[in-house]
Structure 1
Amino acid sequence: MQNLYTTFLLFLISTSTLYAQNGQLTGQVVNAAGQPVSFASVAVKKTKAGTIANEKGEFILKNIAKGKHTILVTMVGYESASQEIEIIDGHPTEVKIRLHETTNTLQEINVVGNIGITKVKPQTIQYASKDLISQNGGTAGDILKAMPSVAMGGSPNHNRDIRFRGLGNGYTQVLINGQPIGVSGNNRETVLDLIPANQIERIEILANPTADVVSAGVNGVVNIILKKGVPATKLYETIGRASFTADHQGGYNGGLSLNGRARNLTAGANFDRLYRIVENKSTGEILKLNNAGEKTEAQNQKKNENKKFTNNSAKGFLGYNTKGWDFYTEYLYGDQTEDKSKEERTTIFDATNKFKSGKFVLSPELRKVYFHSPSARITKNLGKHEFQLAYNYNKSGENKTQNQNEYALLETNEPVLNKTPKMQKVEDRISLNTHLPGLYWLSSIVKNTTLKVGYQGFYTTRTIARTTDAYDEKSNTWKPKDEGKNNFEANESVNAMYATFQWHTEKLKTNFGYRHEIADIRTKASSQTNYSNGHYSTALPSVHVQYFLSSKTYLASSVGRRIRRPGFNDLNPYVEIKSTTEQKVGNPDLRPERAWAYEMGVFTQIKDFNIGANLFLRDIRDLIQKNITEENGIFTEKQINLRGAKTSGIELVSAAKIGGWLNVNGNYSRFWSKISSDDINNGDQLKDQFAWTAKVLADFSLPSKINAQIISNWVGPKNTVQEGEGKVHFVDIGIQKTFGKNNALFLRATDIFDNLKKHKYTNTATQVSNTYEHTQGRIFSVGASVNF
């Protein structure tokens, strides 16, 4: 009996010791956007331990043996994920496991369209950068130009800023990781050719966002999601990626990223450098008319531009999570140096075509744009509640120096270079400082509902200083011209409170939102003694409804109110010289536009084919419109407020899988607009609106892990009473060979047929002009990327 007691006692001691060596694992399963994934399966490999995550994606595994283990997480509609963890004596281990949606899943009710590169959600389009092999070595602008309803601003083949649904850049808000950022040009547009494609995970366009998204952007929001490096899956791991691309013109793009994990701590950094050459040529004719419409003078123009861009961009991040707390901080930096040489030849003839005079102008220009953007956020998950506090700071600027040397031009089109030219030097210094605080509280107490309330702030100060020096030949010195008269300062503050309420059933999803903004805008020019003040209080309600007829068909509808505030250059009252015949002047009295946005769409999928259609309408009040006047041969552009306008359109998207080796995505969009005003603009369409876009993207899966892609892109014409542009068409091609662990070699051909030609015209009562512009295409690039 004593031996039996001794044996039993030893068994208890050994069992207690065994359990003392075991530990507990807690964690959460989230998707690529950081949102919880409900009811995922969680298992410890080579053991019997396993569980199912709750509605918040949270799970607990007890009595896990001490040591290193591999956790396997699976969920329908997502790629499985594994992660290495370590159990230590008496210490609970906490992890966050990220799942990525399966690229070929067609049955998931929230993502019904997912063929090839296009992912279609209700009134949302997503493109993943890894799928656009024809844009390897490019920029954010190169990715965007392939998306439905999009055309890019800037010279052809130089994609600076976005034109979405036929309208100018002021109608679309660009975000990076969900936040506005100081990657801006001299107005308010985002300089998209500064962001390398290597740093982008995906780009999504939200046509009519919910109330918790910034209100700016009458046409919608473009959200650029940056990569966080290659995700580490082991407890201690460092991995990275290197890439390099070079083209036959001497351009190149190289990047390096590193990402590491040590238990609950993650960190990473990347750096990219891009060098690109853009050559542009144009010819044009200007006819001056008298009151009877007869020609009084003719001007012939030839322009040659050569632009060399050098972009540097870098990012570093640090993250830590423990016990439901998630800490994340990030620093973004970028700069772009544009070295531009420009020459213009203008010959002037009288009504009988007799030579009168000519001028030859050389205008070298050096421009640098830069930005710094540190940010931090703290998120606390409380089960059915979540709280986040965030802060972003953006500091950006632009420094530009332009020299203008004007020579006489003979009838033979030869410049007179042996005489001192008229010389002028213009320097612009622009600085922008922006603070973006924010917080929200999210609660899911009641089944099938989510309430989110929050605050977003936007505080910015922008200063513009311009100095002009003219060369005095008599004294052989440079003398200030209008010094200090072109200084301008703008201060803008926006405070927004919002609330959204989501309710859903198996087939119905709704989102009711309300956002209220109070904005103050103060501007001051050097000629003013006081600031010009504007104060606006705006109510911005919204309703979004999605109804799923089946797992493959949905109807979506939304209505909301959006706003467009004037750009900084639009407010600046001073003259900006654009060319020898064009200038721009701002208007400090501009009021913001307000618009009601209406959307209705349908989407369905039949086996390996899908098709969708979307109708939209924007009812705009206090329309900001470009007005062009002409005096003494100079066209002056100025923004003014008109009564309003309506813009509308239809968007068609379709995709098909053919034979397991070909995916085809196609889209066509048609746009209309009509201005309401008391002047000549009444009944005209908006100045910057192009008529339509059409795109066809074909992806080929070939043997030996070779993929090819062809993108055909058409952008329709612009036609208004005063000005217009012709349509353009171009084709990009990419070929990629994958080897090893996602390593790749690739070839890219941009505008392979070299047909990026654009016709522009203006038409006033006293002047008619036609310009034909051509940017060199047929650019071939080769490159490679390696993961390590």
Structure 2
Amino acid sequence: MSLNTPVAFSLKLMQLGLASVFSAGVATPVLVSAQTESVNPPDEKTQEASPAKTVAPEKKADAKKSDPTVKAAAPGINQESTQKVTITGSRQSDLDERRLSTAAKIIFGREELDRNGDSTLGEVLKRLPGVTIGGRPGRGGDIRMRGMGSGYTQILLNGERPPRGFSMDSLSPDQVERIEIIRGPVAEYSTQAIAGTINIVLREDYKQKDTEIKFSESLEQGRSAPNLSITYPAQIGSLSYALSASIFQNRQHDENLTTTLEKNPQGQPSLMQTQNDETNRRTRGIHLAPRMNYRFENGDTLMLQPFLMNSRSDSNTSSVLGQTLADPNHPAEYAMANTASTSENSFLRGFGTWQHKFEDNAKLNIKFGGGVGKINGSSLRTDYANNGAVLTAISDVNDTRDSSINTGGKYTQPWGDKHTLAAGWDLETSRREQVRTSVDSQGHPQFAESGDNIHASTRRIAVFVQDEFDINAQLSAYVGLRWEGIRTGSTSLSNAVNNISSVWSPVLHGVWRLPGASKDQVRVSLTNAYRAPGLNDLIALPSISPINSPTRPDRTGNPNLKPELSKGVDIAFEHYLSRAGIMSVNVFARDIDDLIRRRTLLVNTLTGPRWVSSPVNIGHATTKGVELEAKFQWQEFFPEGPAIDLRSNYSRFWSSVDDIPGPNNRLDQQPRQTANFGLDYRMARLPLTFGGNINWTPAYEIQTSETQINSTGIKRQLDLYGLWKINPVTQLRLSAGNVSANDYLNSSIVTTGGINHMESSVAKTYTTWSLRFEIKM
């Protein structure tokens, strides 16, 4: 009997009583319940997908549908007897998907997202291999892979770039289905990924059957931060959907002490001052992320997923400036200052995909999307003298509007039994309109374009081809080529800017499964990637520093920036354990041309000479590193031991910038090393689980230019949690984030004209306690 039709396959299942079906390209265990009692239970070993063959997802699914794995019935079973068969399939595990991917990809699903009860996505990301988060613990920052600073890591939302101004730290983990870390670029995505790509995939309805309600209450210094999240899935005929929403509020208090010391050419102190800042902030917002899937009669599918985020923040900062050693030529700018700020961010983004299958197993995927966003912000800073008299007041009002539209597609065609060819395109256009007004109490503008209507636009076009194929039973490869062109422009009353760049990016990935060792494999990747200058680096309006100095300059853009170009190599060894574990080592190297680095100069401005920082291309750099990962169950090696899961990763980085003298001429913001260690313990007789994680990044120093050295202090963060599973659908989670609450240190030294400008800051951090109640209905 042929097994190429669903009817025949179902009849065969009833005859044999057990089988395996394949979902998403891998073998998925099937639970079969029959009225005949003599049928043997399924054999997991026969159902496991062979690790000796890895092909494209489309190719795997089609090939395995025509050749299912079926175990023979036990002797003596009546093949003609009528049986009731129930088939239940599930998505392949995160480790299986990682193992079967030709390009190096690490996947973290709901288990990792829910483990510690984190309130922000940044808290989850910091524990993942090779990922670090800038800024102090508990306050988020830019997301970095391999220690490389902002812009080297590509951040995607559902495989697309999020709108400008969108912060991943503002995204609730409850809205996320999984996180994909792609260490090397692939042609299908943009190759703006010198360090790698982090793809955030929002919740998907087909993996969830129950309504989930999660309520948490967090306390930091006694300040309340409630959060409510609801996900409701349903199906009406051919339409399936999931409605997901979260609402939150938090209050935060921050303290920061900044010390400034200047020494003359003779090495004698000429200025000593301290600045104490205290900030109180209240943020509240709502996220909506519904998802809809519709299957047409001809098999076509349509997916729509809008995403709406609105948040409002109000803050007040008080500053006290004191001078213990005054310079007659450098009097204190103020004795006290108060800044009241408010901002509201709103984003509406829509994703959509349409898929059509042809009779020859070819597929066409069309994606489309668009979005609008607005940022409204205002601040009023008032400076006071020692006697309380008002020195000046500076009002800053910002009104920004963003809009974008994008489309793309991929046509996939199997070629024989071993190749899956694909070609596609991406088109994107975005526009920004910004009016920013900054004036003092006398109505004098603080920069030349204050009050101008700035129009900025970005157009991007890309085409790609790729082939994923099996060379033999042990070796699979992926070859891709992508061309991408970007045009950025802006106009204002005073100037016009146009910046055009284009990049060819060939990529090659290979996997070799060691003969005789089905769980061991070696990966090799040769890639070309780039880093395009950001819009703010090209045409940004100036950011004015209240206390202008070489260590606290104004910041502006540079319209003549070129993209950084990188050639890279990755080599990895992976050993998969039998109990959902892995041990791996990955080494990488990147060679970067036209490196972008900020330089600080004293320039004449509308308000007189000021220190201004702007980005420039400075030349060539190299970086390399090694990344170790071990994740396993204790019972893997000690079967009679306790139920403990261990997670650990360690990364070591080296880098060098040619045009900057050593010894610490490293890439900006790149630490030398970082590590994580975590464990979970499940009690044997009680429904309780305890766990925690230690995140560690030691202090490091960077020579950012011939005249400036930046230092960052040690970063240690201990997170703990306890989970009580009250019943199969209800659980209670207690967590403590940043238990050690160490101060976060930074310093900078700039030498100009023989004068040393030294500045150091100490920021307090705090422990956050959270109680989270989760229920499925």
Residue number in structure 1 paired with 2:537 = 570
Q: Residues of 2 paired with 1:492 and 1:72: CA distance?
A: 53
Q: Residues of 2 paired with 1:317 and 1:352: CA distance?
A: 62
> Given the superposition, is the C-alpha separation of residues 200 and 276 from structure 1 closer, same or farther in structure 2, using an over 3 Å criterion?
same
> Given the superposition, is the C-alpha separation of residues 439 and 515 from structure 1 closer, same or farther in structure 2, using an over 3 Å criterion?
same
**One-letter amino acid of the counterpart of residue 612, structure 1:** S
**One-letter amino acid of the counterpart of residue 408, structure 1:** A
Higher mean C-alpha displacement, 428-437 vs 352-361: 352-361
Contact 2:98 2:104 in 1 (8 A): no
> Given the superposition, is the C-alpha separation of residues 354 and 160 from structure 1 closer, same or farther in structure 2, using an over 3 Å criterion?
closer
Q: Is 1:201 paired with 2:177?
A: yes
**One-letter amino acid of the counterpart of residue 647, structure 1:** T
Residue number in structure 1 paired with 2:767 = 778
Contact 1:398 1:430 in 2 (8 A): yes
Between the aligned residues of both structures, percent identity stands at 20
Residue number in structure 1 paired with 2:75 = none
Gaps of 5+ in 2: 1-6, 14-19, 48-60, 69-82, 635-640
Residue number in structure 1 paired with 2:241 = 267
- 3-state SS of 1:427 partner: strand
| Pairwise CA distance, 1:616 | 1.0
| Pairwise CA distance, 1:152 | 1.4
- Normalising by structure 1, we get a TM-score of 0.81
Q: Residues of 1 paired with 2:561 and 2:662: CA distance?
A: 17
- 1:104-123 matches, within 5 Å, as 111=98, 123=104
1:654 to 630, 633, 647: 630
- 1:607-622 matches, within 5 Å, as 610-622=582-594
Residue number in structure 1 paired with 2:274 = 300
Q: Is 1:588 paired with 2:565?
A: no
1:724 to 711, 732, 737: 711
Q: Is 1:704 paired with 2:686?
A: yes
1:166 to 128, 147, 150: 147
**One-letter amino acid of the counterpart of residue 727, structure 1:** I
Contact 2:577 2:632 in 1 (8 A): no
Residue number in structure 2 paired with 1:374 = 350
**One-letter amino acid of the counterpart of residue 617, structure 1:** A
- 1:630-669 matches, within 5 Å, as 636-658=612-634, 659-669=641-651
| Pairwise CA distance, 1:712 | 0.2
Q: Residues of 2 paired with 1:724 and 1:242: CA distance?
A: 44
Residue number in structure 1 paired with 2:741 = 754
Contact 1:387 1:440 in 2 (8 A): yes
> Given the superposition, is the C-alpha separation of residues 216 and 437 from structure 1 closer, same or farther in structure 2, using an over 3 Å criterion?
same
Q: Deviations over 1:559-599 (max 9, x none)?
A: 11111111122112542024424221211111111111211
**One-letter amino acid of the counterpart of residue 506, structure 1:** A
- 3-state SS of 1:684 partner: coil
Q: Deviations over 1:486-530 (max 9, x none)?
A: 6533322111110111111322110010111222222334311xx
Q: Is 1:538 paired with 2:546?
A: no
2:595 to 615, 623, 629: 623
Q: Residues of 2 paired with 1:784 and 1:697: CA distance?
A: 23
- 3-state SS of 2:440 partner: strand
Residue number in structure 1 paired with 2:383 = 406
**One-letter amino acid of the counterpart of residue 751, structure 1:** N
| Pairwise CA distance, 1:736 | 1.2
- CA RMSD after TM alignment: 3.4
Q: Residues of 2 paired with 1:392 and 1:567: CA distance?
A: 21
1:769 to 734, 750, 758: 758
| Pairwise CA distance, 1:280 | 2.1
**One-letter amino acid of the counterpart of residue 732, structure 2:** L
> Given the superposition, is the C-alpha separation of residues 740 and 39 from structure 1 closer, same or farther in structure 2, using an over 3 Å criterion?
closer
1:512 to 449, 465, 479: 479
Name the count of aligned residue pairs.
Answer: 696
**One-letter amino acid of the counterpart of residue 548, structure 1:** R
Q: Residues of 1 paired with 2:735 and 2:547: CA distance?
A: 37
Contact 1:137 1:253 in 2 (8 A): no
**One-letter amino acid of the counterpart of residue 601, structure 1:** A
Residue number in structure 2 paired with 1:446 = 416
Contact 2:136 2:744 in 1 (8 A): no
Residue number in structure 2 paired with 1:101 = 92
**One-letter amino acid of the counterpart of residue 628, structure 1:** T
Residue number in structure 2 paired with 1:389 = 366
Gaps of 5+ in 1: 1-18, 61-68, 74-79, 82-98, 114-119, 234-238, 410-415, 473-477
Residue number in structure 2 paired with 1:465 = 435
Q: Kindly indicate which of the two structures has a greater share of residues assigned to strand.
A: 1
- 3-state SS of 2:151 partner: helix
Q: Residues of 1 paired with 2:206 and 2:616: CA distance?
A: 48
Q: Is 1:135 paired with 2:113?
A: no
Residue number in structure 2 paired with 1:7 = none
2:63 to 55, 63, 84: 55
| Pairwise CA distance, 1:294 | 3.1
Contact 2:259 2:761 in 1 (8 A): no
Residue number in structure 1 paired with 2:304 = 329
- 3-state SS of 1:364 partner: strand
Higher mean C-alpha displacement, 509-518 vs 570-579: 570-579
Q: Is 1:241 paired with 2:212?
A: yes
| Pairwise CA distance, 1:245 | 0.3
Q: Deviations over 1:6-46 (max 9, x none)?
A: xxxxxxxxxxxxx9xx9999xx9775xxx444698697977
Higher mean C-alpha displacement, 136-145 vs 758-767: 758-767
**One-letter amino acid of the counterpart of residue 589, structure 1:** N
Q: Residues of 2 paired with 1:492 and 1:352: CA distance?
A: 47
> Given the superposition, is the C-alpha separation of residues 24 and 294 from structure 1 closer, same or farther in structure 2, using an over 3 Å criterion?
same
| Pairwise CA distance, 1:288 | 2.0
Q: Residues of 2 paired with 1:355 and 1:408: CA distance?
A: 15
> Given the superposition, is the C-alpha separation of residues 257 and 573 from structure 1 closer, same or farther in structure 2, using an over 3 Å criterion?
closer
Q: Residues of 2 paired with 1:427 and 1:661: CA distance?
A: 56
